[in-house]
Structure 1
């Protein structure tokens, strides 16, 4: 023992302060030489009664304990990344010494030596374990240690009976029977010891009492093995006499694990998760709903099934083997392993009965003793590993039905399952812990390549290494194939390998002769268990635009009802070909998607074309509905009827429309790019149109520019002249928003010329309105005002009240900037009346913003704040972050004029954040200067500047 660190089994932990402090030490000793998190210490020591002061008492106890144990010179408590580890020679801690001795006894080939080892182990017990400590974990540990002790006692008794030492065994068995009267294994040993001691009548009498008690207390009869022994005792069979031959036969300890992975790298989080599953009961387990998962005193978990799931080639088997070999000490009674061939070149999964028969052979069972019935073989298998600390690795499982017959009945065994499916029944019915395996992190991926390649080579071509990591996307098999390719071609530069991988993709990751070294082949095994419909949807997902998708989009893509599409997606998720993420989105790894794309080539061309037409129209028409909800007063341009069978996603209001556009924005841009590639010009143009409002409100200026450049190219192929005019107008606006003033004016003048040529007065008015904004942004307010007045005149002539209201506000805004406040006020009030009359809240907000400027410039700063406040409320109701940022910038100036420094700082900081999010660098720099001046207590900020970037609404 370790001086003041006294026995844990049968002894007390003395001279170590309060009980909680001694309990902390008990936990660390039980987990000796293993990292224990602070959270786990809190849970085990305090249970649900964690102190109000949190971890403070724990840290205090650990500090004191560290001083005490270090004084022994043989023990230390080391802090490691959020946890602690007690470093000690395990043979000096009685609980660990007990388990090592018992494990050695069970594998000893010399019966007499095994008896000595058992006796030495059992002699370590002195009283109740952890007698003066109390916590839920202590109670659980105490019960577990008692169970371990009984198991060792029974193994010891079995051994002495085989050696003919029944007289020695009888005395101890008599005491054990008194404390465990219903244990049938113990009862059998006791009957045999009595019989061999010449006490046949006592043996039969004890059996009679046991049978009566079982019936009274449990309503059950003795088991088959005990009933058979009773009959043999009644018949006084000679075979019941002692035979030492059986005792002399060496015990078989199976060691079936394949060799550990030679170059295993990373997966620290997953290894820790497997460790945690073994060392801690599930936090969410309801003790009333299922039996508690007891914890092994030396770190192994009781009744524990861990299922590692993930796509092909992610390294599930390697992870299982790496973890198993690192934890061999936890399973001294052996390890069983079987490849169930759920996904393999053979295409024939191993039958559970064949796996059981293989396990019986590994356990050394005489073939003549193996029953003929599969159920009896499984029962024998479970009996042989009962109370053994064994690991059973079931690799490459296809279904739960393959796994369940191989599960042990003993709570001392641990099962590790790998497979591409989630094995739902195993999780639901047997409490398996699912560990989802994903791709490697970039750091882990770099480590994989660094571990397999010449370090000088990787250091010299670091950029190429980064590109290889990116092209492989963290996929372990892809990285391994790439590393092999590099290593076997030492004269080829890494940059050249990267270029080849970039160009060839999956073709480079294929292998003609070794299917296990070919990523496409490994992935193809997952398709074998899919239906034709599921394989078709998988292939179509490879060609659908966007990096992820949703159920409604897949329903359109595959022309399936939503419920049926959901079942197909669930099947693909189940086989790890698809991943479901938050908010109902589904995503494929890039390499899996590339494989799906190659699979799609096997589909008929019309099937692919029809699917793409449906999914593209689904996105276009849903986006069109969203655009109408965002701005119902906007010029109506209908995209026409969708492809038959396409039903746009229903959107109820502007908020749901904005949320859908936010979620699908990247996909919508991908749809437009794909449509341009396929020559679907109508769709390219209309996607630019329906995204225009969203792009402006969210400040996606570069996306808006790209969308309208594509739309202008598409308009050249469309028969309607208006498409080209509108494309020039909106492309001009997009250029203006990005400060491309020459290009903006050029496109707008072309648009105006086209509108004049086609006698389109309404479009001329719209173009003048856009030219007003463009010239204002360019810094020429007077020229901008001319265009605003021209637009106002046209709108009035055409009786277009919404356009008239917008132009009235524009004239008022520009007049205010030029110092003509009476004109500005009159026009803005007229605009406000029209906007409110037609319930155009966006136009109302724009006008209130203008009135705020007028009030501020004329010295009525409080009224300015009132107007700006109303404008902000309306912009926020539409979540129009682009204009929210502008008005926040404006509202800071009257705050400064009124001496509200803190309020000005607050609104400008919010504006600055929004400008930065939207990539509006010029605006952000201006607001930052304003904040700097404010912080320096300067006072030149009473009026907003007439800077080119300080516009109202763009």
Structure 2
């Protein structure tokens, strides 16, 4: 069976015959279900789409009839009930089909696959095959223009991006002359897409038609100047210059100047070819299988009972199985889960996901659901910049990606049910394993999880574990001592593994000698309090620790000072005060004796019991001065690394003078902003723990400067409450300059959350402090922030005073980035006051300067302001184009707040031109983002949507100010 959505909605039987759906409403319901196969589409949503104004009283009955007719059509097409199922589920309907039977999903798969191919000819062929699936506008006979845009608005842009990618591939393959007719037609149809203009210019130039290439450039320039009052982007101008001098310029790298969604997708696809050659590889995140695992056969059998055999091969039950493996620390929960997961992973062809939730980390650095979701989304090939910031949105994306897939998910070391729930997929084909010290009764009660309490292994299993790892002959030769070793290890697998590692590294020792050596450390060691069955575990730890080399023992103790959940090689080197190449063998030694574990590669973590033991040792064996120096080196490493990453994310950010490092230690280096964002995401739990750790141990300057480095990352992710908490805790510790920075960051964060009084107080304090220390650039920055805050409060003339003060200060200090941004701010305020043409003039000056200094966020803001000015001048088409430019630039930077803000502006332009349905959808998109990031503007936008629903005629008409 085959389904077609890319054109008219068709259903083809297995024999290729067309099965008719005679009514448009039937075709629409089928299409909506096929757009998101495997996901429940609520009855309310289907009714809203079918009857877009007031649904009839019998809407639900009619919908049931439509679904019944679709089921009849599916049966007549010969659909296999195991592969194609349309079922009622909860408050809606769910259609289960194989994604490759739907042309839309096949198109997306072909495009993704093409972007991993290096050979341009093969890449072009794959993209051509994808494009040939299109037979016309998507859902052509099921939805009209507005509804089609609502359901498939991004599809046409994806189609255009694939077309542009195919042209890139053909250019790369040398098919220049063949492309000219097609490119000429496309450039005529889309005159403002600079990417197309660049491709046409390149094809003409490489075909020996330089004059025609330059004429194409002139046409594009004339249109852009006439419509927007702006020159083409720098890349297109550079290409024209290279053609004039007979040098080939950056050809299709003219993409970015066009600022459209096709550009972003094309550039992302190009990057994928370079950085992610294996995008089609399914995730396989399970930790390595444990070679020495023995016993636990009854538990393994119970786990296997979660799976059932059905006709056609192994499968899982219709409802998603969840199993919670509970037991005391060190009892082997993770080992059991990982072992069984490896045994059954072949039943989950779409991959395995794993995360250590660190629910009982002694430093309190547990993994939040958001952190875990971002890791899973990365494993599922979602670029970091495309991951939404809110946990709810991340969960929705995660569940959408797993729809109709069979994936095994291992959630290790969970604290409670709330930590787990957002990580549960909705697909019945998935299976979830959870390990915890608690039974997680909430999951058992509400999600139907199966509880499994893990007991200590039997003495026979403990003996077998030692035999497997040490050797059966050695165990048999020392049978009289084996029982003593097992007793001292309290039958805990963690302790037994440490003893076995010691025995493996000393093959000359007999088992009796090992037992004697172990007993020597029992008399002077206390028991761990509050842990079941591990009264002598500290003995085992001590015995293993005393076998370490001096360097490894020192590093193990120092790791007890580390505030975060895991540590990188370079951070461990900073902590120990050695080079990374010197610390690697020490880390390897600790791994060999099972005192730390390496997972993922390059990052090292303790079992939480071992972390507590290392912390005891460092406070017992190392003096205060040595501990302070180690902390100093560690904090230096994180501060230096984070500072580099912050300036890479925002190169024009005014620098600060960092705390003096104790020594020149290893710091991370980053090749591009994406890697810096990834590093912040990876290290965020460590950095968050490092800030209060620095404050509580006397490193005040490190504390506030670490918070400073995190602000750009937090702002892009919309994590303002988290930033406020971190800043509030260290405000009193900083010097006056540091306090000025903190007050400014607090003011901005409170303003984003709508706490205007608190924001104004903090910004005024920041202004007073910058004046006191003579920091004119700092004063300008605060005036800039007050401009924005007063403008939010509609105090436009006061805002303009601050804007002019900021502009004067930036000019006095020759701060070009500040000047450019304040030109934009002045333009914005002129719009608000009513000087619209003057605003356009300021915007154009700002855009020229912002492009010169390559300030993309500043350009995005100026495009938004220009759109606002055009709107008030009644030039609505130009306003729409400018807003779209701004949106594409904000999305490239992952700037969620400003994306939503610009969507709100665009919706007003659509509204005043009578496109109320477009405005509704645009505002709904903006509202979702505002809700996700917790922004105060959500309330205002909600009110506008309510007004639109009540009385569309009451909203502004063309020519009226907002």
Tell me the TM-score normalised to structure 2 length: 0.47
Which of 1 and 2 has greater Rg?
1
Q: TM-score, normalised by structure 1?
A: 0.47
